[in-house]
Amino acid sequence: MASGLTPTYLLPYPLQTDAVDVAGDAELLADATEIALLAKAPLSSPTFTGTPVAPTAGSDTSTTQVATTQFVVNQGYLKSSLASSIYSTIASPTFTGIPVAPTATLGTDTTQIATTQFVANALDNFVTLPSQTGANGKFIKSDGSLASWETITTADVSGLTTVIDNLSTTYAPLNISINTRLTGYTLDILDASKQIEMNATIANGLLIPTDASVPFPIGTTIIVVQLGSGQTTISAATPATTTLRFTPGNKLRTQYSTATLVKRAINDWILSGDLIA
């Protein structure tokens, strides 16, 4: 350098080519470099902002190359037949294997899926009902909902007893009962659906009472058997009130002959069987 000249240093932009202090220019360069680096992403675990872009790899590429959204869509996994065989539809799905779901609380009454555990719990609580201690309790009905016990009153019990007592006059039993009589006899309400066996050695009569005295239900059927040697004649206790229809007669033909009485209407009976006039 010629004697008497001021030293000149060439520094990058934005520094000027001036005669400057070396230390000051170095500091400016460091600041500019730091600002430039702040706009860059680090190589290790970078965090991008905005909408980063990258080259799209070819379909079925299997490397560590970055996958763009275009690459994923191009693969078509969510549209393929493979996807339909793995995932179910929202509407009316058909599951395979052993699907599981959360178990609803006992007594739940919604459209939530019922698991086998929910059903088992409901059945256990339906069979094992809580004991009643006076106050109305709760129990699980067959539909899974909660219901209250109702207090049974004396009137309820009385009404139930009446219904039970009248069953024999309303419905025919599976096995009929036998009422054996040694002499003439007038039918009783308890003879409905029974077999009346007239076991006498002399002539005898079986009488049908009026509906006013013994209100047999319409449809009542009674079997009559002449068990003894004495001939049995079947007739109305009050002929003017009760009609008995038969042919050819209203007498049982001989020992062990059988006939059937059927009440077809109020005070109107039909007699059929092994009869003579």
Rounded-to-integer distance, Cα 253 and Cα 225, Å? 10
Reported as a pLDDT band with limits 50, 70 and 90, residue 1 is: very low
Instruction: Report, as an integer, the average pLDDT of 164-184.
Output: 79
What is the structure's pLDDT at 202?
97
How confident is the model over 236-263, as a mean pLDDT?
97
Query: What secondary structure letter does DSSP report for 8?
Result: -
Mean predicted lDDT score pLDDT of the chain: 80
CATH number of 178-276: 2.60.120
Q: What whole-number distance in Å separates Cα of residue 106 and Cα of residue 43?
A: 57
In sequence order, what are the residues at sequence separation of 6 or more whose Cβ sits closer than 8 angstroms to the Cβ of residue 195?
176, 177, 178, 179, 222, 223, 224, 225
* 16-59 pLDDT per residue, tens: 555 556 677 677 777 777 777 777 777 788 888 888 888 998 87
Give the global pTM. 0.42
Q: Where in the chain is CATH 2.60.120?
A: 178-276
Alpha-carbon span 22 to 7, nearest angstrom:
10
How far apart (Å, rounded) are the C-alpha atoms in residues 213 and 105? 60
